Amino acid sequence: MWRHLVMLLAITFTFAGCLGLPFFQGTSGTGVQDGLPIDKELIIPKTDAELSSHVPGELLVRLNKGVSEASVLEAVDGTITGRLDSINMVRISLAGEERSVTDALRTLQRVAGARWAHANQTGYALFEENVTDEAYVNGQQYGPQKIGAEVAWDEGITGEGVVIAIVDSGVDVDHPDLVERMLVGYNVVDDSTDVTDFQGHGTHVAGIAAASRDGEGMVGVAPEASILPINIIGPYTGISDFAIAYGILVAVYPEFVGLPESSKADVINLSLGGPFYSQAVQDAVNEAIQQNVVVVAAMGNDSKQVIQFPAAFEGVIAVGATDPNDARASFSTTGPHISVSAPGERIFSTRPFNEYARLDGTSMATPHVAGAVALIRDKYEGMSPSEVKYLLEQTASHKGAFDKELGYGRIDVAAALGITIGEDYWNTGSIKVTVTAADGEGGVPVPMADVILLHDDHPPQSVRTGTLEGVEGVAWFYDVPEGTGYTVRVTDLDGAVQSEEEIVVVANQSTEVEIAFGSSDE
């Protein structure tokens, strides 16, 4: 009962622009924020076991200005283990064997000066799906073209001078596609500049947003933007409210942790989220937006309508995922708070140790939007976060219309930048080629082959299905102009033709073909 009530209150207060976690004002039984009453006894569970996932014995407290920290610490018997001065917030570790967070929250109701307090929640997820291919270099990107970024590059709009903060699992700063774009980053877990990416998620996200055109395997949406990597995940820890808020504020005020002031972010990418409201993260997001920083966050991979934060915070650009044909990716979370969508299915990008891979997820869609924001801020330097959000929404594929599946639609960078392009640019489809064994073994994948796409006997693009163990003999071609005259040719690794088949490409559809290896008459 309590859990359902807490979640209901959190959702209700959040979309009313109100607080969904313990809020304290004065010593009365009811708190007030934005003119709306909050019954704290209903919001605070009876025991810590009824709280959402959290760091045991820790709470986050925002103090009113001029309030003595000593009075708060004495009341709850705790010590300060972290502080975020720009939002006047402290992290308190409780002493004693009990270390009851809920008891401490109730105690703080009677302490003047505590603006709000809540547990240091954990359980945030990185919104990626399983790797759909083993890592390999000869990948095919479709995201930059699909959102019109290539048109911007042709106009000299590349994100130069713009900083994208990747608040994530860290980044492989030595990756050949990223090293030229990299600024000195920060690790909020151990307060160092070591942003080693133990998980790999942040490296993939960074490549999508801003991999250099001078690299080896891919190019990011804003290929001349700078990357500020901020690690909020330790090698053996999850993600907490405090770490996310800390990471956001490092992006806004890099000088506070010893980084150059010039490293201040123009846009923050948050490819993560959780089902619980955090006033700490909300305040950090508010501070970022007030300091002219755009905040972009992933909707989630729940495949249905679900509330996830920070995507649901007001002012954030909440991003859903589309497939190569602009339909909603099956995993993408929906909801009334979605802003726009971007490519998030089978996205090729960088991975640690100079590798590459394809991943699915709204985590992959979000840096497409962060990169698009960098291009917009390259051209329109004085544009505010709310103006950037509005521009992306009104120029997206729905042309001002809204639905809970894709928001205002798949982003269109060219339109946002006022660049006119022909309608034929968007009349493209995709091709999925599965190579299987011949000689009575149909259906068995053959990964040791090359697949080449020909148009009128000329190879416009090609991709290897893979030579690594685990690759399933599948090749994809994206953004192929609609029409006839296409031939898919399969060769062995020595170049000998094994089979080929003629196909027709239909706009906004995926053409799937299965070819038997060794069935050619040649």
Per-residue pLDDT of the chain (522 residues; tens, 9 = 90+): 333 333 333 333 333 223 334 443 323 333 434 333 344 444 789 999 999 999 999 999 999 888 889 989 999 999 999 999 999 999 999 998 778 999 999 999 888 888 999 999 998 999 988 655 544 444 578 999 999 999 999 999 999 999 999 999 999 999 999 999 999 999 999 999 999 999 999 999 999 999 998 878 899 999 999 999 999 997 767 899 999 999 999 999 999 999 999 999 999 999 999 999 999 999 999 999 999 999 999 999 999 999 999 999 999 999 999 999 899 999 999 999 999 999 999 899 999 999 998 899 999 999 999 999 999 999 999 899 999 999 999 999 998 999 999 999 999 999 999 987 766 676 788 888 888 887 655 567 777 777 888 888 776 655 555 543 445 677 878 878 888 989 988 888 777 888 888 999 998 888 888 888 876 655
Q: From CA 210, how far away is CA 305, in angstroms rounded?
A: 30
Please give the pLDDT value at position 59.
95
**Strand ranges, E, within 182-264:** 186-187, 226-231
Please give the pLDDT value at position 78.
95
For residues 111-133, b (16+ Cβ closer than 10 Å) or e, as one string?
Answer: bebbbbbbbbbbebbbbbbeeeb
Q: Which of 265, 266, 279, 512 is nearest to 373 (CA)?
A: 266
In order of 279, 351, 456, 469, the CA distances from 135 in angstroms are 39, 8, 31, 10
Please give the pLDDT value at position 40.
44
* Contact assessment for residue 206 and residue 171, using Cβ atoms and an 8 Å cutoff: yes
Q: Indicate the pTM of the whole model.
A: 0.84
Burial class (CB in 10 A: 0-12, 13-18, 19+), 467: middle
The 3-class secondary structure across 267-332, one letter per residue, is: EEEECEEECCCCHHHHHHHHHHHHCCCEEEEECCCCCCECCCECCCCCCCEEEEEECCCCCECCCC
* Contact assessment for residue 219 and residue 56, using Cβ atoms and an 8 Å cutoff: no
Q: Which residues are catalytic?
A: 168, 201, 363
Report helix, strand or coil for 92: strand
Q: From CA 369, how far away is CA 320, in angstroms rounded?
A: 10
Longest dimension (CA), the chain: 87
In whole angstroms, how large is the CA radius of gyration of the chain?
25
Q: From CA 432, how far away is CA 55, in angstroms rounded?
A: 45
Where residue 259 falls (left for φ over 0; alpha for ψ -120 to 50; beta otherwise) is beta
Please give the pLDDT value at position 404.
96
Amino acid at 466: G
- H or E stretch covering 104: helix 101-108
Specify the pairing of strand 317-322 against strand 340-343. Answer: parallel
Number of neighbouring beta carbons within 10 Å of residue 312 = 24
Report the DSSP beta bridge partners of residue 464: 450
Q: From CA 169, how far away is CA 446, in angstroms rounded?
A: 35
